[in-house]
Structure 1
């Protein structure tokens, strides 16, 4: 079921989204050479705690997961696409890092992700990250009443494929509201003009994921959560929670 949110509900989701934006900004600022991934999770937890917000990630256990997720922040490094568990790995110069965070505030959820390089950035990583952000912007621009889910999927996929990057099979965006994952699914590739009609009041997470080599294949690591590229090439992940409004898309997860 897809819930149509009121203006008041969207304002409440914007408050949750601000917390997500601040948590991601703080964790990104703390990401430096030699810092443990667990420290980034601690930084994000502090932001959530200070805002009086909960985490939709901590303790989350979908049917396929062997254990509940143990953190408030997904930290995916280099060949990890999404769902990386923050552990004692210490960041190295040139690491490509993707942070994914959510917040629950007054019963409403925000969800967003950002990718960046620690230390010196290689030109290939810089271009990969920039293309992910461009794909996200294209998807957001297509999130208007009267369009369809396929228009968003096509916009995202066209940017990724035109640059020669892969799109992980089976992963994409989703509806957001009282829970982190609601309908509809929002693929990262598809045909324009197809799928569910977009209506004002829908709130969705748009989240392009790109694989540098152009391949689409991934596998689940031994921890049961981390999704890695099959060919060990680098990946990037960008995401915002977006409200569809009569005046155009409204990004809810900016700081």
Structure 2
């Protein structure tokens, strides 16, 4: 692929406007972005020169700070600086809470309701569950509410913007993950090779066993044939002997008849 930068479609129209907007117009643009539905990434807007120029004005800087909280922070960060930041509209409050849930979900897949209530500045479970349902429908998370254990079980969460100062840490995490994947792949390859060798050895042993069995059967067949031949020869000799004996007996009987016949005639 080329070095083309893919821009979030929901943010693209605001980026185009930011190129031709300054001062109060840029502030109004920030307000629109923070209230826009289904828009949860803001770092590209923060990099626009017209937005960065607002940092130079004491009147406009709080809006840039607010945009940074939406990009990288949570409800807790806003509450800590609430008195020096612009007031949030109901839609902005809801979005910041969604973003806070996303941040919590990246650290823990089973988030206790008690932690969510604290981090989201909510006062009862009914409000919390309504907010979670809205976050699910907005595509911020895929999760289920475990009311028996009073926790949120997260299966998927959107990615949030990452501050440039935290990129080395993120890169380090990715490098460790890559190395772990490489190590696991090597282990799997070793196990697969061992399994293939064991299978080949087993196939060879099976073929040898089958050959031995075939040879034994062949030997037994030959032995059986030889024994049958010997028995047949023996039986033939017995028959021949018996025939000779009978012939001899018949000859003796004939001689006796002649002798006794002569005696009777005299």
Q: Tell me the TM-score normalised to structure 2 length.
A: 0.26
Q: Tell me the TM-score normalised to structure 1 length.
A: 0.26
User: Over alpha carbons, which structure has the higher Rg?
Assistant: 2
The structure whose RCO (Cα within 8 Å, separation 6+) is larger is 1
